[in-house]
Amino acid sequence: MADQNEIPQNQNELEAPPKDNSGKKMIGIIVVAALILGALFFYWRSTFTEDTDDAQVDGNLYQVSSRVAGQVIHVDVEEAQFVHQGDPIAEVDPKDYEVAVEQAKADLANAQADYEQASVNVPITNVQVSTTLQTSGSDVLGSQASVDQAEAQAQAALSRVQSAKAQALKSQLDVDRYTPLVAKDVISKQQYDAAVAQATADQAALEEAQRNVKAQQDAVRLMVQRLAQSQSQESQSRKNGPKQVAAQQARADAAAAAVKQAQAKVDQALLNLSYTKITSPVTGIVSRKSVVVGVNLSVGQSLMTIVPLKDLWVTANFKETQLKEMKVGQEVKIQVDALGGRKFEGKVAQIGGATGSSLSLFPPENATGNYVKVVQRIPVRINFTNLDQENKDFALRIGMSVEPVVRVKD
């Protein structure tokens, strides 16, 4: 009976189906595949990319300051207010600068009037110089003609002297011949007296002719002096005439320069007047506001800080061991922690020239006996390439932590 009971038991064991191990095998396969994929991903990530979590959004903080001195009469913004580029921020009392503009414009009008007068005098002076040159030339010609005429008259007077001498000599000879004849009554006393009278008259005519010669010679000397004077005046006119024109032209040029100087003062006054209206240099958030209505500002006094929302970049501090394959222009994937993992794209723009520790206020001194090697970090600038598309809501803020992944190999 015992054998009969054992037989069915063995039969049941023989008829029981084999256990199914396919689930365990599948789990094993999945685990192995995950490990392989993880290993491949780690290999790809460590070989073709470099990343760091020591990175943040960076940008230029704009310190808004006053460019003119004066009292603030209006403030248009509050702390943490969003402003666009060009929006009004504050206003300085413009009255003093408006008066300066009016004064500068008046000086400009005066300078322009002086320039007009000087410009008109240039052609007038030129005509006067030309007329003087022509007149002095005519005076020289006239004086030369007067000299020639006086010399001719002196020569004629000399000829008359010679004729008078001959006539006086003849009359005297007649008197000498008539004297013995009148004594012998060969000729009449009347004829003799006529001869004596003629001789006296001829002698007087000779003396008059000699005096005329002297007068004509004096006239020649006077005409020569006048000729020399005319020639001197002509020479001075030719020498000084162009200088007079040049001097007048120089005065006109100086007046033109004064006009430009006055115009520059007007432009500066208008520029200072425009500086009384202080506007935002960039689009951003107002921070560290210190200006209030009624405060007296000085030139360069800081009013507030504008934190920009555009023109941002990423400063990533990579380990020095990560920079072997990193180059300018490589593409970067940027994940922003504060924006729920929103991703941006960028490119490597610059690789810093020194490590962060070397640029610190107190750089390390490694020339000590207890030196411990520390892997240094070098700042790398990454520029956004799709900032305008992905940051339309201006969600990015300076200082936000990001995680850049640089594609160092294709």
Whether 85 is covered by a domain: the verdict is yes
Judgement on whether residues 130 and 263 belong to the same structural domain of the protein? yes
Domain boundary among 284, 304, 324: 304
Judgement on whether residues 113 and 257 belong to the same structural domain of the protein? yes
Judgement on whether residues 144 and 165 belong to the same structural domain of the protein? yes
Query: Which residues form the domain of 71?
Result: 64-95+276-304
Whether 24 is covered by a domain: the verdict is no
Domain boundary among 267, 289, 323: 267
Judgement on whether residues 89 and 217 belong to the same structural domain of the protein? no
Give me 254's structure tokens: 């100086």
pLDDT at site 310: 87
Strands (E), 66-146: 70-75, 82-83, 88-92
Whether 39 is covered by a domain: the verdict is no
Judgement on whether residues 91 and 102 belong to the same structural domain of the protein? no
CA-wise closest residue to 89 among 104, 67, 60, 114: 67
Domain boundary among 207, 239, 267: 267
Handedness of CA 247, 248, 251, 256 (dihedral sign): negative
Inter-residue contact 310 to 283 (CB < 8 Å): yes
Q: How far apart are CA 330 and CA 316, in angstroms?
A: 14
Q: How far apart are CA 265 and CA 259, in angstroms?
A: 10
Whether 312 is covered by a domain: the verdict is no
Judgement on whether residues 236 and 103 belong to the same structural domain of the protein? yes
pLDDT at site 161: 76
Judgement on whether residues 253 and 119 belong to the same structural domain of the protein? yes
For the chain, what is the domain count? 2
Place of tokens 């072997």: 324
Three-state secondary-structure class, residue 174: helix
**Number of other CB atoms surrounding residue 161 within 10 Å:** 19
Judgement on whether residues 142 and 235 belong to the same structural domain of the protein? yes
Q: How far apart are CA 15 and CA 234, in angstroms?
A: 152
Judgement on whether residues 85 and 118 belong to the same structural domain of the protein? no
Q: How far apart are CA 349 and CA 380, in angstroms?
A: 8
Whether 365 is covered by a domain: the verdict is no
Low-confidence stretches of the chain (pLDDT beneath 50)? 1-8, 10-14
Whether 327 is covered by a domain: the verdict is no
List 350's β-bridge partners, or say none: 381
Strands (E), 33-136: 49-51, 55-58, 62-65, 70-75, 82-83, 88-92
Q: How far apart are CA 172 and CA 78, in angstroms?
A: 133
Q: How far apart are CA 106 and CA 119, in angstroms?
A: 20
C-alpha torsion angle, residues 349, 354, 357, 358 (rounded to 10): -150
Judgement on whether residues 136 and 263 belong to the same structural domain of the protein? yes
Tell me the backbone φ, ψ of residue 359, rounded to 5 degrees: -90, 5
Q: Which domain CATH number covers 75?
A: 2.40.50.100
Whether 385 is covered by a domain: the verdict is no
Total H helices, total E strands in the chain: 5, 15
Q: How far apart are CA 287 and CA 266, in angstroms?
A: 35
Q: How far apart are CA 377 and CA 379, in angstroms?
A: 7
pLDDT digits (tens, 9 = 90+) for 30-58: 777 777 676 665 555 556 789 999 999 99
Query: Tell me, what DSSP letter sits at residue 17?
Result: P
Give me 153's structure tokens: 């008259």
Whether 197 is covered by a domain: the verdict is yes
Judgement on whether residues 134 and 214 belong to the same structural domain of the protein? yes
Judgement on whether residues 126 and 255 belong to the same structural domain of the protein? yes
Q: How far apart are CA 262 and CA 7, in angstroms?
A: 129
